Structure 1
């Protein structure tokens, strides 16, 4: 499970890189498709700039439902480039809820009998030392240029 290396040393695999994270799940009927569309837009902007030291990470917050296969199918709808955009799953529901709260102050909650997961819609920008620098709206007020400027500043 990719999460294990994250929990032992958070951000280590992306040390030396600027990265942007969000939280999504594949059966989300509301904000996740537009958020993932926006992340895809950001991916294209980053590729145009030619930056090789920027990564995107989408954490599944419904890991028991989101198999790697399911995530991949979801990601493929949004032209995801897996060399720079990582979709993570394979940890427990409790673990991702704790992780999101502790590192992102993002309250994630899945209630029994409901297939929808409550979560924030921010994009989180980290510097090369793995420190959270800023969060941006990933849904309605998304602005790719603003985020790209922040990435440029941190590089």
Structure 2
């Protein structure tokens, strides 16, 4: 009987130890895998999920002719990029998906990004896909709304910043517009590294 208890305890300890080797725990986190994608950067180069493999990345959805939420969101991403650099964190990428790809050419995205002081060494602004693609991609993978109405030039989208792990799984989302939890995001990046 004692041997069976000892064996059960050893088995339980092994299971607990092995389960700890999985994904790192982030408070109030999620685990949403991102499907493969192909896009074009502001530098007119291809970029896809495979190019981000092995890196933690921060992502959002913006467009350059946005009249309200995108400028503060992009400013907040620029602040976060600087904080990541100041913390000395390596292998962290920033990815901004355009939700208006017919307007946001690589040249337009470059001009927009430069106006916020974006460092292109680890921040890519993406376009080169259809409106239909980005609307479905955002909904399916990021669980967020993107919709370009028939009338007008403003695209409807939510204002989250997303944390993505080295395997291409979204691990958490945060407010990207107001009351951005910068310190929490930095802490969560460190947890994933």
TM-score, normalising length: structure 2: 0.75
- The Cα of 1:141 is off from its aligned counterpart by 1.7
Gaps of 5+ in 2: 1-37, 41-45
Give CA deviations for 1:10-30 in whole Å, capped at 9, x if unaligned: x32111110010000000011
Give CA deviations for 1:39-96 in whole Å, capped at 9, x if unaligned: 0000000011122210000000000011111111100011101110000001110011
Gaps of 5+ in 1: none
TM-score, normalising length: structure 1: 0.93
Give CA deviations for 1:84-132 in whole Å, capped at 9, x if unaligned: 0000001110011011011101110001121000001000101111111
- Could you say which structure has the larger radius of gyration? 2
| Aligned: 1:110 with 2:148 | yes
User: Root-mean-square deviation (CA), in Å?
Assistant: 1.3
| Aligned: 1:154 with 2:186 | no
Query: After the TM superposition, which parts of structure 1 deviate over 6 Å for at least 4 consecutive aligned residues?
Result: none
- Give the count of matched residue pairs: 151
Give 1:88's match in structure 2, choosing from 122, 126, 131.
126
Give 1:62's match in structure 2, choosing from 87, 95, 100.
100
Q: Aligned runs of 1:3-152 on 2, under 5 Å?
A: 6=48, 11-152=49-190
- The Cα of 1:149 is off from its aligned counterpart by 0.6
SS at match of 1:124: strand
Mapped to 2, the partners of 1:140 and 1:89 lie a distance apart of 25
